[in-house]
Amino acid sequence: MSDATLPRRPRRELWLLALVTIMPVVASYFAYYVWRPESFRNYGELVQPTPLNGLAAASRESAPPFDSGVLKGHWVIVMIDSGACDADCKSKLWQMRQLRLTQGKDMDRVVRAWLVDDGALPDPEMLEEYEGTVVLQTQSSALIEKFPAAGARRNHLFLVDPLGNLMMRFPKNADPNRIKKDLGQLLRISRIG
């Protein structure tokens, strides 16, 4: 039976079947090459992974470096600031605490670290308010240089992976909801930490 002798209905069904078969392929090419949704992009800026192992540290509880103890094997949110801690510093401490708490069942996989870059000792009362934040003292400019920043390093929050590699930087006055989303995605995907 030739195409001309086929009844109209089966021919229409044949074209519909061909269209249904081809559409997923066309849609996938369109989605991959043309349409790039914003929801797949991270908020934090990925930086060249930099190992931070061997970091000398000290705190009220003699916190260990990134490659051992409290920080080892955890995702670490790091801020760099003075031990005197002005209003911006306190805001970052509060934000780091909230980011950790919003991770729900995964919050034990996240640790907060405050890298004091000027040798000043933080106020003990403030440390009680932000209990659980590991305070790391450093006078090493070489260590501070490992944290890349556009402008002042004190303006950013940084993320260190469970292997001790600096991997992400968040901008000054960052949107906490977008940081929470990035961190949540990393925790969901990661098999370590």
CATH number reported for the structural domain that contains residue 81 in this entry: 3.40.30.10
- Pair 165, 77 in one domain: yes
What is the reported pLDDT for 143?
79
Q: What is the mean pLDDT of residues 44-53?
A: 88
Residue 61 tokens, joined: 């509880």
pLDDT (tens digit per residue) in 172-187: 989 999 999 999 999 9
Q: Has residue 60 got a pLDDT over 50? A: no
- Pair 73, 159 in one domain: yes
- Pair 47, 30 in one domain: no
What is the reported pLDDT for 88?
94
What is the reported pLDDT for 11?
84
- Pair 47, 140 in one domain: yes
- Pair 26, 55 in one domain: no
- Pair 74, 155 in one domain: yes
What is the reported pLDDT for 167?
94
Residue 24 tokens, joined: 């997923």
- Pair 29, 49 in one domain: no
Q: Which of 22-31, 62-71, 99-108, 143-152 has the lowest mean pLDDT?
A: 62-71
Residue 16 is part of which domain span? 3-35
- Pair 22, 63 in one domain: no
pLDDT band at 138; cut points 50, 70, 90: confident
- Pair 25, 61 in one domain: no
Residue 99 tokens, joined: 């980011």
Domains in the chain, number: 2
- Pair 25, 99 in one domain: no
- Pair 9, 48 in one domain: no
Q: Has residue 154 got a pLDDT over 80? A: yes
What is the reported pLDDT for 36?
67
Residues 110, 75 contacting (CB under 8 angstroms):
yes
Residues 134, 111 contacting (CB under 8 angstroms):
yes
Residues 6+ apart with CB under 8 A from 161: 49, 75, 167, 190, 192, 193
- Pair 136, 53 in one domain: yes
DSSP state letters, 63-114 = ---TTSTTTTTSEEEEEEE-TT--HHHHHHHHHHHHHHHTTGGGGGGEEEEE
What is the reported pLDDT for 42?
87
